Amino acid sequence: MRPRSFCNLLFLLMFFFVSCAVSAKPENYGSAKKGALDAFSELDGGGNGSESVTAALLKGTGTGEDEKSAKNDALSQLANSIVADIVSKTVISQEERDGKYTESLKNDILVRSNVFLKGVLFTKPVKKDGIVEVTAFMTQNSIVNTITYLIKTMPEDIETLQPEKYDDVLTMIYLSYSLLYAVTDRQIPERSKYIAMLGGLKAEIEKLASYGSLYFQESAAVKGQVEIAGKSYELNKKIFLKPANYKFVVKLDGYRNISGSVDLRKGDKKFVEVPLVPELSGKQEIFLRVESPVRMTGDIEKALLDFGIVPTQKKELPHQVEIIVKTSSVKVEGYEKHTVSVDIRTFKNGEKFKIARYEHKPFFVTAQNRDEKVREESRKVSLAVVKKFLSSIDLKEFFSDKD
């Protein structure tokens, strides 16, 4: 296993927003909080704006067997729309890799939406065919009121907080940002001033942080744990650690151990997606064919070896895999927009086992970086797709003697 390259494929990281040049003294956090609170209190979201769903800036519709479950679902859909609003505005992205945003933030907003989103309004429940439908929505007024509430409930002294409470405070400031971006400059004059104030408060919170968090996720119903910093932790739970470089091992019942390393900094919220790599018995050989404009056969072979599969050029083998990588491009003003597509076909005893097609979102290149960028993206995307594909199929069934 090669921890560095393996981790680079696993981590879906991103952290938000512009940083402000302010001091890290504790009293500056207090003054930044007071300044932001005073500013938003002046806005006072109880203005003359309409509180009907027709005036909604954010909304989500949910369904359920009863009114309570429908409202909970609607609240979850509303939280999803807030996260989608974050993604659509690259101006708030401080660090973005592969266009992915932090999954842990999304999880925080979804899990805590019923606590943080105090300004949510609901339409009257409608029942049809035994299913209740409700829409949760937020208007300009309720957005401002929610931001004011979030700032008010931030602690006076965050240096004394436990790591879990500090994480809540970060989610509050991120959520305040996303809500403010949902309102236009016309709806809130001098909006940039309030964004700057939130930026100052966010900077102080991050500077005073002493922990970072890791979240190892496995969506399948598999028992497992992660060993890191001399302790064992359950998957799908946040782990709070002091800033440092850590080695970890993920152990899953019936699957191969996954090891790697991670650098954790103050205030980091890192998300790690754990792939399922079955524990195969014996030497499993497979015929490999890679068709690509970019040389990557060696990289693909290493990826297969990580899964306990030995790639060869023996065409007579009963198990075969074909990987076809294609790139396409179009001119967009002074740039080229490229797309990488990957087709993966597996065969068992001459019969198709599974076929999948993946298309990565477009990326832009210039004449100066075209060749290097296309090679880099093609290899990176193809490796990630191969690992994702192998994690999605039942390898034990694929290599069994039964058809």
CATH of the domain at 263: 2.60.40.1120
Q: Are residues 63 and 24 in the same domain?
A: yes
Domain end call among 189, 207, 225: 207
Picking from 159, 180, 207, the residue at the C-terminal end of a domain is 207
pLDDT reported for residue 91: 35
In terms of domains, do 253 and 368 share one?
no
156 is written with which tokens? 């006076």
Residue type, 344: I
Q: Are 198 and 43 in contact (CB under 8 A)?
A: no
pLDDT value at residue 90: 37
Residue 236 lies in a domain: yes
Q: Verify that 136 and 216 share a domain, yes or no.
A: no
| 249-277 pLDDT, tens digit each | 999 887 888 888 889 887 777 888 787 77
Q: What is the pLDDT of residue 208?
A: 60
Domain end position, chosen among 169, 191, 207: 207
* Per-residue model confidence (pLDDT) at position 86: 53
pLDDT in tens, 87-97: 554 333 334 33
pLDDT under 50 in the chain at which residues?
1-27, 45-49, 89-102
Considering the domain architecture, whether residues 104 and 168 belong to the same structural domain is answered as yes
Residue 3 included in any domain? no
Tell me whether residue 11 is in a domain: no
Q: Where are the beta strands (DSSP E) in 190-274?
A: 212-217, 224-228, 231-234, 238-241, 244-252, 258-264, 269-273
Q: What is the per-residue DSSP string for 253-302?
A: TTB--EEEEEEE-TT-EEEEEPPP-B---S-EEEEEEEE-SS--HHHHHH
| Cβ within 8 Å of residue 282, ≥6 positions away | none
Domain-located, residue 167: yes
17-71 pLDDT per residue, tens = 222 222 333 346 677 777 777 766 655 544 444 578 887 888 889 999 999 889 8
On whether both 289 and 260 belong to a single domain, the answer is no
Does residue 7 fall inside a structural domain? no
251 and 152 share a domain?
no
Residue pair 287/230 in contact by the 8 Å Cβ criterion: no
For residue 129, the enclosing domain spans 16-207
Judge whether 249 lies within some domain. yes
pLDDT computed for residue 4 by the predictor: 40
- Within-domain flag for 8: no
Q: How many domains does the chain have?
A: 3
- 318 and 231 within one domain: no
Helix axes 370-392, 3-10, angle to 10 degrees: 80
- Are 130 and 46 within 8 A, CB to CB? no
Regarding whether 201 and 145 lie in a shared domain, the answer is yes
**Identity of the amino acid at 229:** A
- Give this prediction's pTM: 0.45
Q: Within this chain, do residues 255 and 192 fall inside the same structural domain, yes or no?
A: no
Query: What CATH number is associated with residue 288?
Result: 3.30.160.150
Residues 242, 348 within the same domain: no
Please give the pLDDT value at position 286: 93
Residues 138 and 258 in one domain: no
Residue 247 counted as domain residue: yes
238 and 194 assigned to the same domain: no
User: Which amino acid is residue 179, in one-letter code?
Assistant: L
